[in-house]
Every structure is written in C-alpha cells, then in structure tokens.
Chains A and B, each alone.
Chain A
Amino acid sequence: MVMTEGRAGIEADQKYEPDIKIRITGLTKSFRVGAQDVVALQDLSLNIKAGEFIVIVGPSGCGKTTLLRIVAGLDRQSHGHVVRQHADPKKPLSTMIFQEHAVFPWFSVEKNIEYGLRMRGVPKRERRATVEQFLGKMGLRDYAKAYPHQLSGGMKQRVSIARAFANDPEILCMDEPFAALDEQNKAIMLEELTRIWSETLKTALFITHSLDEALILADRIVVMTSRPGRIAAIFDNPLPRPRKSYEIRRDPAYGKLSAEIWDILRVEVLKSRGELPA
C-alpha cells in the first residue's frame, strides 16, 4: 500500500483505515485576484471510501472544480491534506474526465483512447486489446479511425470516457462531463457511465449542477456551500442499482431526496447570488 499525499504530509495521529480511499482534511485553497485574496475552499474535510461514487453539487463558483483538481493533483491546496491510497503502483492512481473538447483533435479515436497507455509504455498488443474493448463498450467501433471533428458532441465525450477508463486508474475524477450534451444524449450517457463504472471497482468523484445526474450516479451526494466552499450537507442515496435514468424517477424516494437536496442547495445558490446573507 502506498500513500500519496498533498504537499503538507500525513498527520501523525491519523489512524489506518483500509476502507478510506481519499481522505481530505482541513482543505483550504485561496488565490489572489488583483489585490484581494479569494478563498475558494475553506477547511473542507471528507472521507471517500474505496469504490464509492461521490457526486458533488453546489452553486456556480463554489470551488467544486478546484476541489476536484486538487484531489486529481492538478492544483495545489493552500492548507490541509489530501491523502490518496494507491493500492497498485503499477496502475495510475487517478484520471480526469474533463468538461468537453478535451479529446485531442489531432489523434484519431483509437489513438485518443490508448493515449494514457501509450504514454506509460504499455506494449502495443496489450493496448490494442484494451482499445478494442472500449471501442465496443462505448459503441465507437465504426469510428476507430475517425478524427474528433467528424464526431458529434456526445460521441466525443464517449471518447473522453473511454480514454479515462482505458487508462485504468483507481480514482476517476469527472468535471461536469455531460454539461454540453442535450437531455436525451445525457440520459443515455449517464446509463452508459453507470454501467461501465459498475463493471470496475473504481472510486469516482463527479461534479455537476444537475440533481438528476447526482441521483442516478451517486452513492453519496455532497452539497457544497457558496464561496468559500465548505460542505453544507451529505446525503446517502438509497435508490437501488442498477438505475435507469427514466425509471428511477418513478421511485417515490427519488422525488423526496431530490426535494431535500434542493432545499439546502437553493439557500446556497441564493447566497451565491447575493440574495441572502452569506
């Protein structure tokens, strides 16, 4: 077991808990905008279990993306710790699925999917097999040699998802991957994502504005406050898996949970708009 960590190091008194994949403690991030210090995240703590699907919702500008980027190791925190357990050092610890337009326009679909594997020197035959597998899983088999500009927005995002899963990380970080898709495409992509995720044991962090997405995907839903971002509430999602986007809406628990989350989220959105005191 390898522990990777943020800049600040592991607290001496932290006890070993094998279940916890990501331990976020007292995370604060501030940056300078002009002459002012803006606090994006303030003293945020959260434990995420191995294999758990966490969805983070919150008002615009609450620091969701900042949180995700720090967990992914793309940004650095100002204070606090992020400790991630790296179970198998031969595999990458985390991979990010970005908002949109993140597939390389200069690589074909198959070259995009195998990118992570190619960059870390996985032999060609092994790469071939993985690419085939994900072309099939994501319905991209006919487009292996196509370039992204020949694909629709939904197909591009499938390539993005395939690229991340093919890289086979232990943690998947997703930053509003479906924000630019239309309703119908989104519904289908959500089902595809839950299916492909349930076949693996990956820990997932997913950011969204959409409560529907949260309820379909999440084991736990984290609601963040308006800036500076803290945790307002955490909800367990009792809806049974496998979940189909338009079927789970019939479950009375769906409406109840949705309303409960919105009650809290609404207050934070109003605060972020300056309509309620922070």
Chain B
Amino acid sequence: MTSRSTRFLNIVSPLGLLVIWQLAVQAGLVDRRMFPPPSEILTTLFHMAETGELWINLGASLWRVGAGLAIGSTAGVTIGIIMGLSPLVRALVQPIISATYPVPRTAIVPLFLIIFGIGELSKVMVVATSVFYVVIINTVTGVLSIDKVYLDVGRDMKVSRLQAFRTIALPGALPTIISGLKLGAGIAFLVLVVAEYTGSQTGIGYMIWEGWQILDLDQMYVGLLVIAVIGWLVNLIMDEVEYFAVPWHRHR
C-alpha cells in the first residue's frame, strides 16, 4: 500500500464510524437517550465552544498532560540512559522500578492527592509518574539493545562519558525511546481523565464525570469525542516527531 493511501485511510476510517452511528440512530436501531446521534453531540460541542466552557476544560487538560509529559519523559529518558550505561545504577534502580511498576497508575491518584494536595500539582504528578514508567522502561531496553560495537567504536576513539551519552547512547536508543513516548502520551490522557474525575473542577475528565452526574449525556459524549480526537491528533504528531527525529529509521 502506498503511503498516501495509508494516510487517506487513517482519516477516513474514524469518520466512517461516525457516519454509521448517525444512520443507526436515525433508523431507530439504537436508543437515542443512551446514544445521542453525532449531529446532536456536535451541536452541543459548538455550543460549549461558544460559551468558552470547552476551551477552559480543554486548556486545563492539555496543560496538565503537557507538563506531566515533559516532567515524566525528561526524567525517564535521563535516568533510563544512565541505567542502560551503568550496570551499578541499573542494579540499584531496577528492583524499585520492577516492584512499583505493577501498581495501576490510576490507583495512586488518592495517594497523590494526599501528597501533592488537590491542586494542579497532584494531577500533573500522576501524569508524570505514569509517563515516567513507560519511558524509562523503553529507554533502558533501547540502550541495552544498542550493538556493543558502537560503544567499542566510542571507546576506541577515546570519547568522554558525556560524548558517549550524546553521540551513541541517546541516538542509539532514540527509536525505542520514541515508542515509549508514544505509549506515554496515550497513557497520559488515560490517567489524567481518571485524576480529573475526582478532586477537580476543570478538565475534560471533569466534563465527562459531570455530564454523567447531572445526566447531561451530550456533554459526556462531547468529552469522550474531544478525548478521542485529541488522542488521535497526538498520535499523528508523535508520528511526525518520529519521522523527523529519527531520519535513519524511516519506514515510509
């Protein structure tokens, strides 16, 4: 399949799903009280955009995800590369990562509310922590999978530790690190929405939760739709980032 037709299908398939939904409601095949048609959801969406309600919630969520991604991925990449290069650091840190990794990220929300308060910081930190785990695990894997011969070339050329980090470990692990960042971005939205269900008065998660509580299902669906679109856009952006950041690894 050509890359152009692949991109075309990437856009067409979610739109097709919406069309099927709309037709199914209009034909009376599904209950409109539980599944309002996309046209009605879109009307609510435009209304919320006009009143500004949508932008406040979207802005709040994007800010939290952005800050959490930045903190989590910076820490994950840095510590991950050091772990990958140093068996000593790996031996010290790996058990801690392995032991805490199985705890579901959403389960730490109450703990973080206690530690960081109910303000912005707790939400950002929940996102940062979730991102940190996938990024660090991918980074360590990425560094460890670098062919030993590249590190030998570095030693043979008498490079410093910092140079080895910059010119061998980081680019060598970059394809795997970017896979980690992609996963991290997806998980960031997942945990953020859960974090916003409780202890928040703004955000897309809050919109969804409130929509359910006051039985304003249109608002709930707007929230779900926005999350879906954002998630999809983030994926596209990450693909572009990958394309330009890893020019030696292009598949298309």
B167 touches A98 (CB 8 A): no
State whether the Cβ of A72 lies closer than 8 Å to any Cβ in chain B: yes
Expressed in whole angstroms, the minimum distance between the Cβ of A44 and any Cβ of chain B is 22
CA distance A250 to B242 in the complex (A): 55
- If A98-B149, A149-B248 touch, whether A104 touches B168 (CB-CB below 8 Å) is yes
CA distance A167 to B159 in the complex (A): 13
B150 touches A119 (CB 8 A): no
Interface string of B226-252 (1 = CB under 8 A from A): 000000000000000000001111000
- If A106-B248, A147-B248 touch, whether A120 touches B158 (CB-CB below 8 Å) is yes
B156 touches A147 (CB 8 A): no
List residues of chain B with CB within 8 A of the CB of A167.
157
Expressed in whole angstroms, the minimum distance between the Cβ of B7 and any Cβ of chain A is 23
- If A106-B174, A147-B248 touch, whether A119 touches B153 (CB-CB below 8 Å) is no
Kindly identify which residue among A95, A99, A147 contacts B247, using a CB–CB cutoff of 8 Å: A147
B157 touches A74 (CB 8 A): no
List residues of chain B with CB within 8 A of the CB of A120.
157-158
State whether the Cβ of A92 lies closer than 8 Å to any Cβ in chain B: yes
List residues of chain A with CB within 8 A of the CB of B168.
104
CA distance A74 to B156 in the complex (A): 7
- B residues 133-177 touching A (CB-CB < 8 Å): 147, 149-150, 152-153, 155-159, 163, 167-168, 171-172, 174
State whether the Cβ of A115 lies closer than 8 Å to any Cβ in chain B: yes
State whether the Cβ of A3 lies closer than 8 Å to any Cβ in chain B: no
Closest to B160 in A: A119
B157 touches A116 (CB 8 A): yes
Expressed in whole angstroms, the minimum distance between the Cβ of B142 and any Cβ of chain A is 12
> How many of chain A's residues touch chain B, expressed as a range?
20 to 34
CA distance A101 to B147 in the complex (A): 9
Summarize B's interface: helix, strand, loop or mixed: helix
B167 touches A119 (CB 8 A): yes
- If A98-B152, A147-B247, A148-B248 touch, whether A104 touches B171 (CB-CB below 8 Å) is yes
Summarize A's interface: helix, strand, loop or mixed: loop
Kindly identify which residue among A105, A119, A147, A149 contacts B158, using a CB–CB cutoff of 8 Å: A119
List residues of chain A with CB within 8 A of the CB of B152.
74, 96, 98, 102
**What total of A-B pairs shows CB separation below 8 Å?**
54
CA distance A107 to B157 in the complex (A): 16
List residues of chain B with CB within 8 A of the CB of A98.
149, 152-153
- If A104-B153, A167-B157 touch, whether A115 touches B248 (CB-CB below 8 Å) is no
B156 touches A106 (CB 8 A): no
B157 touches A115 (CB 8 A): yes
A102 touches B167 (CB 8 A): no
CA distance A187 to B99 in the complex (A): 56
Kindly identify which residue among B150, B163, B174 contacts A102, using a CB–CB cutoff of 8 Å: B150
A101 touches B167 (CB 8 A): no
A72 touches B157 (CB 8 A): no
A95 touches B147 (CB 8 A): no
CA distance A164 to B150 in the complex (A): 14
Interface string of A72-110 (1 = CB under 8 A from B): 111000000000000000001011101101101111000
A115 touches B167 (CB 8 A): yes
B163 touches A119 (CB 8 A): yes
Among B157, B172, B249, chain A packs the most CB atoms within 10 A around the CB of: B157
Among A104, A149, A167, chain B packs the most CB atoms within 10 A around the CB of: A104
A119 touches B159 (CB 8 A): yes
List residues of chain A with CB within 8 A of the CB of B147.
101
B149 touches A106 (CB 8 A): no
CA distance A106 to B142 in the complex (A): 14
List residues of chain B with CB within 8 A of the CB of A148.
248
Closest to B172 in A: A106
Expressed in whole angstroms, the minimum distance between the Cβ of B198 and any Cβ of chain A is 44
List residues of chain A with CB within 8 A of the CB of B172.
106
List residues of chain B with CB within 8 A of the CB of A74.
152, 155-156
Among B147, B155, B158, chain A packs the most CB atoms within 10 A around the CB of: B158
Closest to B246 in A: A106
Closest to A72 in B: B156
Closest to A69 in B: B152
A104 touches B150 (CB 8 A): yes
CA distance A67 to B156 in the complex (A): 15
Expressed in whole angstroms, the minimum distance between the Cβ of A151 and any Cβ of chain B is 11
Expressed in whole angstroms, the minimum distance between the Cβ of A7 and any Cβ of chain B is 16
Query: Lowest 3 CB-CB distances: which A-B pairs, in order?
Result: A106-B171, A147-B248, A96-B156
Supply 12 A–B pairs (Cβ within 8 Å), ascending by A.
A74-B156, A92-B157, A92-B158, A94-B156, A95-B157, A98-B152, A99-B149, A102-B149, A104-B167, A115-B167, A119-B163, A147-B248
B residues lining the A interface (CB < 8 Å): 147, 149-150, 152-153, 155-159, 163, 167-168, 171-172, 174, 246-249
Q: Can you add 10 more A-B contacts, CB < 8 Å, to A101-B149, A102-B149, A115-B153?
A: A72-B156, A102-B150, A104-B150, A106-B172, A107-B167, A107-B248, A115-B157, A119-B157, A119-B159, A120-B157
